[in-house]
């Protein structure tokens, strides 16, 4: 794939990303166009396969594929609501993985979402390391306190128990 095509596709994917309260998502109808699908019904087939993969991976489908309504303009100047789906980056990744890799746009999307997802994971890991693996928790009295995750793990038998005891809360400085 040519460098200029890659740059153009990357910019288009980034331009279509939405963000609400720090959660990044794409609308399925926008992704449909980005991936080169002309018919919604054909794209829904790929989405359904991605939902199966999501469930098989132990994820809640509703956490990654949220049904929404979207108003579109009609030629008469009026509007009507159409069905759409808000997709997390993970959902987009699964959709790309279930698309036709012979299409340049889908081949690009496979790489784009895999790389961007890995970048986000690395950022989160670095943030945890920078914080000294510190998490913020609330005491029984309602006050916020800081607990070292490694110290918490030492007090319990397993990571699962540690995760159940620690609640991450937003902290304002």
Domain boundaries, the chain: 3-123, 131-165
Assign 142 to helix, strand or coil: coil
pLDDT digit string (tens) for 65-81? Answer: 999 988 888 888 888 88
Question: pTM, whole model, 2 decimals?
Answer: 0.61
Per-position b or e across 59-68, b if 16+ CB within 10 A of its CB: beeeebbeee
d(CA 60, CA 153) in angstroms, rounded, equals 27
pLDDT digit string (tens) for 116-146? Answer: 777 777 877 887 777 665 555 555 555 544 4
């Amino acid at each position: 794939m040519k460098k200029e095509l890659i740059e153009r596709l990357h910019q288009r994917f980034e331009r279509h990303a939405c963000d609400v309260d720090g959660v990044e998502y794409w609308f399925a109808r926008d992704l449909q166009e980005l991936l080169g699908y002309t018919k919604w019904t054909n794209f829904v087939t790929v989405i359904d396969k991605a939902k199966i993969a999501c469930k098989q991976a132990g994820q809640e489908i509703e956490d990654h594929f949220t049904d929404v309504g979207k108003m579109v303009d009609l030629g008469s100047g009026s509007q009507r609501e159409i069905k759409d789906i808000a997709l997390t980056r993970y959902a987009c990744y699964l959709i790309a993985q279930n698309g036709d890799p012979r299409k340049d746009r889908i081949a690009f999307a496979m790489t784009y979402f895999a790389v961007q997802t890995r970048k986000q994971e690395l950022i989160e890991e670095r943030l945890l390391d920078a914080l000294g693996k510190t998490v913020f928790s609330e005491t029984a009295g309602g006050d916020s306190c800081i607990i070292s995750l490694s110290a918490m793990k030492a007090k319990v038998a397993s990571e699962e128990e540690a995760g159940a005891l620690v609640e991450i809360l937003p902290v304002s400085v």
